[in-house]
């Protein structure tokens, strides 16, 4: 099934940042992956999500994820790594790498992740031209362009207007990142109120919509968001949160106890020994069988 076919049915993409996390997501049963800019910067260069990585670093990591899993990958390209020609080159580079989709932000440069700091957006006209440049750069219509608008403290209607402008400019999906609704933080609302706002947002946008937010409202599932009108559900940060929490706890346990044993005694499900990792996640058997096929029998 093509990525566009998946979008027609509704698809969930978990955040990954390297080939290992991508394989774990594939093993869990996901059909699509999201290369998270937040996770990539945190785990590859040890910085907050402030747009500090280069197109070369982003494309290189994407190529490894694709090679390891052969799944559709959606890539966060921030504001396109520079001006219009940078956006054009970024799209060409990632399409050639084998990426299935990118999302392009309307923030000013340098950008900031909306979940960690206040953001600022460029004017509507400039944002639309960015999307048009990205659409112009792709070689085939199979490559999906997602126009993202970040919550900059403006009105709900402004987010809807921008999303519709990006779709009219040729984007295949709009991606409104709604942290607040008319100034009211979503996290202060009840889960039902949050879900109602998400559904209202999707219904107000004149085309396919991508959902990406801090959390799915408690008591709801990704399938509920798809039913509410979203074509792509991106769960960007959950894997990163789980990984850094568990690893940090393990390191502190080793430092205080002098051995990892107490940590694993308390968290036995966290244990995946080297051979188990190699066989269950990294597909050791296929590598051994390949060697057996192509190594001369007398060696």
What distances in angstroms separate CA 166 from CA 152, 200, 244, one per listed residue? 17, 18, 35
Query: How far is C-alpha 287 from the geometric centre of its chain's CA atoms?
Result: 29
Which DSSP string corresponds to 3-40? HHHHHHH-EEEEEE-SHHHHHHHHHHT-S-EEE-HHHH
**Residue partners of 30: CB distance under 8 A and separation at least 6:** 12, 13, 14, 71
How far is 272 from 259, CA to CA, in rounded Å?
17
Residue 108: name the closest of 95, 117, 99 by CA. 117
Contact yes or no for 27/280 (Cβ under 8 A):
yes
Of 12, 24, 42, 113, which residue is the catalytic one? 113
Cα Rg, the chain, nearest whole Å:
21
How far is 67 from 57, CA to CA, in rounded Å?
16
Q: Is 210 among the catalytic positions? A: no
Question: How far is the first Cα of the chain from the last one, in angstroms, to the nearest whole number?
Answer: 42
**Residue partners of 286: CB distance under 8 A and separation at least 6:** none
Q: Which residues are catalytic?
A: 113
């Amino acid at each position: 099934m093509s990525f566009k076919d998946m979008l027609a049915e509704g698809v969930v993409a978990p955040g990954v940042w390297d080939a290992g996390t991508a394989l774990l997501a594939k093993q869990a049963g996901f059909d699509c992956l999201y290369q998270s800019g937040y996770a990539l910067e945190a785990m590859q260069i040890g910085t907050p999500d402030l747009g500090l990585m280069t197109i070369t670093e982003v494309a290189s990591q994407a190529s490894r994820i694709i090679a390891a899993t052969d799944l559709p990958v959606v890539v966060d390209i921030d504001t396109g790594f520079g001006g219009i020609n940078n956006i054009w080159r970024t799209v060409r580079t990632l399409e050639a790498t084998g990426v299935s989709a990118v999302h392009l932000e309307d923030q000013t440069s340098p950008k900031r992740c909306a979940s960690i700091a206040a953001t600022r957006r460029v004017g509507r006209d400039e944002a639309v031209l960015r999307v048009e440049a990205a659409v112009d750069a792709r070689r085939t219509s199979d490559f999906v362009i997602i126009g993202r608008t970040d919550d900059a403290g403006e009105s709900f209607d402004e987010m809807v207007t921008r999303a519709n402008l990006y779709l009219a400019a040729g984007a295949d999906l709009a991606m409104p990142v709604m942290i607040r609704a008319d100034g009211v933080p979503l996290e202060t609302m009840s889960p039902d109120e949050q879900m109602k706002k998400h559904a209202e947002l999707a219904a107000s946008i004149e085309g396919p919509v991508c959902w990406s937010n801090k959390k799915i409202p408690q008591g709801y599932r990704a399938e509920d968001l798809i039913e509410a009108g979203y074509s792509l559900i991106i769960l960007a940060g959950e894997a990163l949160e789980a990984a850094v929490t568990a690893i940090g706890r393990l390191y502190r346990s080793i430092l205080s106890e002098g051995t990892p044993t107490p940590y694993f005694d308390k968290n036995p499900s966290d244990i995946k020994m080297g051979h188990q990792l190699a066989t269950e996640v990294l597909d050791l058997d296929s590598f051994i069988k390949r060697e057996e096929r192509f190594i001369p029998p007398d060696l």
